Amino acid sequence: MSKNIGFISTRFAGTDGVSLESSKWAEVFEKGGHSCFWFAGELDREKEKSFLVPEAHFQNEQNVWINERVFGEKKRESSVTENIHALRSYLKFKLEKFIDQFNIELLVVENALTIPMNIPLGIALAEYISETQIPTIAHHHDFYWERTRFSVNAVGEYLHMAFPPDLSNIEHVVINSAAQKELAHRRGISATIIPNVLDFENPPLNGKRTEEFRKKFGLKTDNIMILQPTRVIRRKGIELAIELVKALDNKRCKLVISHECGDEGFEYVEWIKEHASDHDVDLRIAESHIASPWNNNGDRQKKYSLWNIYPHADFITFPSLTEGFGNAFLEAVYFKKPILINRYDTYIRDIEPKGFDLVAIDGFLNKKAVQSVKEVLKSPMRRKRMVDKNYEIATACYSYSVLRKHLNTMMQNIFPDSAPRICFEPTCRQHESCLKEEQYPAQIAV
């Protein structure tokens, strides 16, 4: 019944959305008795279950050289093609070694067949999956057609072939309804929507290092911590968070950014620092100290986790311009924190109709939004009504039980003979409790 499952991406490390969501999937799989293993160019997973291939990373020198010559260009030199295929051949060999070493029976490809950050890896995966017919779930977080930097390129045939490939042994998963429709329209590929999730059935527990966090970053007991829990990249709209803190006009307010810098260069990072200085906003960037809450590689005690930060936040800013889903939104709800959110497309289509109680803006900060934030910060009763309602809705719509339900269905489709179930009682006698009709939280009427 149990399966060896191989997760594959360019990176499984830190607190980006792909790394975090893959950890949640692995947690659900492993609680169902399966074993999960990891292949990527950067890894912070358990070493005995990891297969590190630096050339698979999107920032690997060879891959950067290729990307500089195929994006923003219409013509591709033959030397670039030769390098693409040389790296593809090497990565394909490494994939075979990974699958043989851990006896992998199912692949879960996290975004590596979605966005062409590493073209040779995508081609290698497409070829291997086609040749071997290994069962595969392709978990798509953001497609290349959603990013303007990929719109002009010299690799159209590779994008069509591998991002994503249309193969009968691949189950496609997307994280929002717009992606599902676009994938069907552009490629004729049907996909299952599985939203990002958190374990809402089990509220968070404060870690032992939680109290140390404020001291480490110079936050005093009377400071108001405004948390921006995202990477420092342009589409996160962090300038709007700076404008909010400025408009609150309270020197006790400190803006803390929790995630790493540099995924898309450092120009935006430097501009954000200047923008904060120009607005007289006290900005703290804590990225070098923050680890994933699911990091089990043994180094966890050396870092603060995201779960050490959220308990101390007084308010969350999430003014993203675009998101595949929005992990930071769910995390804020999980820790019962009030949120200011920019109404990005996925939020409008998939999240807003659920009825969450948030401070919402439409691409700019107005007086009404600022006043709403001030009221939330001043009134404990208003804040409690807001966060309790949000937690209740999220428990019904974005809990682990929702993920478990979808993965059970997919595993039954992929392995119809053995029909392995995913449950939270791996020690039960042949999973007898799983053979009963599963009960999931009823949807809240909104």
Q: Which pLDDT score, from 0 to 100, does residue 434 have?
A: 44
Q: Which pLDDT score, from 0 to 100, does residue 438 have?
A: 39
Q: Which pLDDT score, from 0 to 100, does residue 154 have?
A: 97
Residues forming beta bridges with residue 253, ordered by sequence position:
224
Q: Which pLDDT score, from 0 to 100, does residue 269 have?
A: 86
Task: Say whether 359 sits in a helix, a strand or coil.
Answer: strand
Burial (CB < 10 A; 0-12, 13-18, 19+), residue 303, is: middle
Region 4-193: CATH code: 3.40.50
The C-alpha atoms of residue 421 and residue 409 are separated, in whole angstroms, by 9
Q: Quick: pLDDT tens for 144-194.
A: 999 999 999 999 999 999 999 999 999 999 999 999 999 999 999 999 999
Task: Say whether 291 sits in a helix, a strand or coil.
Answer: strand
Give the least confident one: 10-19, 338-347, 383-392, 422-431: 422-431
> Exposure string (b/e) for 234-247, b if CB count within 10 Å is 16 or more?
ebbbbbbbbbbbbb
Sheet holding 4-8: strands in order across? 50-52, 35-40, 4-8, 106-110, 136-140, 170-174, 192-193
Judged against a pLDDT cut of 90, whether residue 235 lies above it is answered with: no
Question: Can you say whether residue 372 is alpha, beta or left, with left for phi > 0 and alpha for psi between -120 and 50 degrees?
Answer: alpha
The answer to whether the beta carbons of residues 51 and 37 sit under 8 Å apart is: yes
Residues of the chain with CATH 3.40.50.2000: 210-397
Amino acid at 126: A
Q: Which pLDDT score, from 0 to 100, does residue 267 have?
A: 85
Q: Which pLDDT score, from 0 to 100, does residue 205 have?
A: 72
Question: Of 441, 404, 350, whose CA–CA distance to 197 is shortest?
Answer: 404
The 3-class secondary structure across 382-404, one letter per residue, is: HHHHHHHHHHHHHHHHCEHHHHH
Segment 294-317 shows an average pLDDT of 73
320: confidence class by pLDDT, cuts 50, 70, 90:
very high
Q: HSE on the CB side for 16, CA within 13 Å?
A: 22
The set of residues, in sequence order, having a beta carbon less than 8 Å from that of 242 and lying 6+ positions away, is 255, 272, 275, 276, 279, 281, 283
Q: What is the mean pLDDT of the chain?
A: 88
Q: Which pLDDT score, from 0 to 100, does residue 295 have?
A: 67
The sign of the dihedral angle between the CA atoms of 161, 132, 36, 62 is negative
Burial (CB < 10 A; 0-12, 13-18, 19+), residue 193, is: middle
Residue with tokens 């590689």: 297
How many percent of the chain have pLDDT more than 90? 72
Segment 122-142 shows an average pLDDT of 97
Q: HSE on the CB side for 348, CA within 13 Å?
A: 11
Segment 404-416 shows an average pLDDT of 92
Question: Can you say whether residue 111 is alpha, beta or left, with left for phi > 0 and alpha for psi between -120 and 50 degrees?
Answer: left
Give the architecture-level CATH label for domain 210-397.
3-Layer(aba) Sandwich (3.40)
The set of residues, in sequence order, having a beta carbon less than 8 Å from that of 161 and lying 6+ positions away, is 123, 126
Q: Quick: pLDDT tens for 41-86.
A: 999 999 999 999 999 999 999 999 999 999 999 999 999 999 999 9
The C-alpha atoms of residue 364 and residue 66 are separated, in whole angstroms, by 37
Classify residue 242 by its DSSP letter. H
Segment 10-18 shows an average pLDDT of 88
Judged against a pLDDT cut of 80, whether residue 429 lies above it is answered with: no
Q: Which pLDDT score, from 0 to 100, does residue 88 have?
A: 98
423: confidence class by pLDDT, cuts 50, 70, 90:
low
